[in-house]
């Protein structure tokens, strides 16, 4: 039995292709997307999906759907991520079969143009009915809202923290004290030395989190100096 949706696009007041990129609050966007019926979903154009991918793609060009928000055919397949190939939006679908799994791709225009999508991969065939197809498209639209609005601030904080506390920044500090005390081999037998080292390391991580905003604008060389001082004070060296 088909799911029933109150389709807010049928009355002509909402163009979903523009609406998803507009200034409406994220919560309201998600509510409209959730209630978007199959007729409304069919209006989501390849150009809209292409723009979503281009705005949200990672370093290798993929727009990944959060693991907890992935949907599929409620049997053996889910949407994993999207990418662009020859200016066409492509969906990468995960497929489970027996004791193994695989991934296979399909163009968005092909996926959205049929009442049922019958996919094929090395594990055999799989099917998305019209409800499943609609759920996947709603999932893509919702993930865009999460990426560009709801999770944007947290992602920026994580990026800032990686800039000031990534291994390329803090490892030279830790290595400095390893070399200073020649403790690569001594830490295994010296509890005090080992405890001091981990106290210093923990202090650096804590300091970076608490002062992320002010540290973000400092050059790496200055970060090294600051972290060495924090490390030394905590380790009592």
What per-residue confidence (pLDDT) applies to 6?
A: 46
Query: What DSSP assignment string belongs to 119-145?
Result: EEETTEEEEE-HHHHHHHHHHHHHHHH
In Å, what is the CA distance from 121 to each residue of 92, 125, 126? 12, 6, 8
pTM of the model: 0.71
Q: At a CB cut-off of 8 Å and minimum separation 6, what does 35 contact? A: 5, 6, 7, 8
- Using alpha carbons, select from 46, 52, 67, 48 the residue that is nearest to residue 111: 46
* pLDDT at residue 4, rounded to an integer: 38
Do 70 and 136 touch, CB atoms closer than 8 A? Answer: no
**How would you write the pLDDT of the chain (237 residues) with one tens digit per residue?**
334 334 555 445 678 999 999 999 999 999 999 998 898 898 999 999 999 999 999 999 999 999 999 999 989 999 999 999 999 999 999 999 878 999 999 999 999 999 999 999 888 889 999 999 999 999 999 999 999 999 988 888 888 888 999 988 998 888 887 776 665 556 667 788 888 888 999 999 999 989 988 999 999 999 999 999 999 999 887
Q: Sort 21 into a burial class: Cβ within 10 Å, 0-12 / 13-18 / 19+.
A: middle
Q: Buried b vs exposed e over 114-129: b needs ≥16 C-beta within 10 Å? A: eeebebebebeebebe
Predicted local distance difference test score (pLDDT) of residue 2: 37
């Amino acid at each position: 039995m088909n799911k029933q949706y109150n389709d807010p696009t049928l009355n002509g007041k909402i163009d979903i292709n523009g609406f998803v990129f507009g200034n409406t609050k994220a919560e309201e966007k998600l509510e409209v997307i959730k209630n978007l019926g199959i007729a409304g979903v069919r209006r989501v154009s390849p150009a809209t999906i292409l723009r979503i991918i281009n705005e949200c793609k990672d370093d290798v060009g993929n727009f990944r759907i959060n693991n907890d928000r992935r949907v599929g055919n409620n049997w053996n397949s889910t949407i994993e991520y999207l990418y662009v190939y020859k200016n066409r939006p492509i969906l990468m679908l995960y497929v489970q079969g027996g004791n193994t799994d695989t991934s296979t791709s399909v163009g968005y225009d092909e996926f959205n143009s049929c009442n049922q999508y019958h996919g094929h991969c090395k594990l055999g065939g799989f099917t998305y009915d019209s409800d499943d197809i609609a759920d996947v498209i709603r999932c893509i639209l919702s993930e865009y809202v999460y990426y560009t609005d709801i999770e944007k601030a947290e992602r920026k904080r994580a990026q800032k923290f990686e800039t000031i506390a990534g291994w390329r920044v803090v490892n030279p500090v830790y290595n400095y004290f390893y070399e200073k005390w020649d403790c690569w081999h001594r830490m295994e037998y010296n509890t005090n030395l080992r405890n001091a080292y981990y106290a210093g390391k923990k202090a650096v991580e804590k300091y970076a989190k608490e002062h992320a905003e002010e540290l973000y604008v400092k050059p790496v060389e200055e970060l090294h100096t600051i972290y060495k001082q924090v490390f030394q004070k905590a380790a009592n060296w």
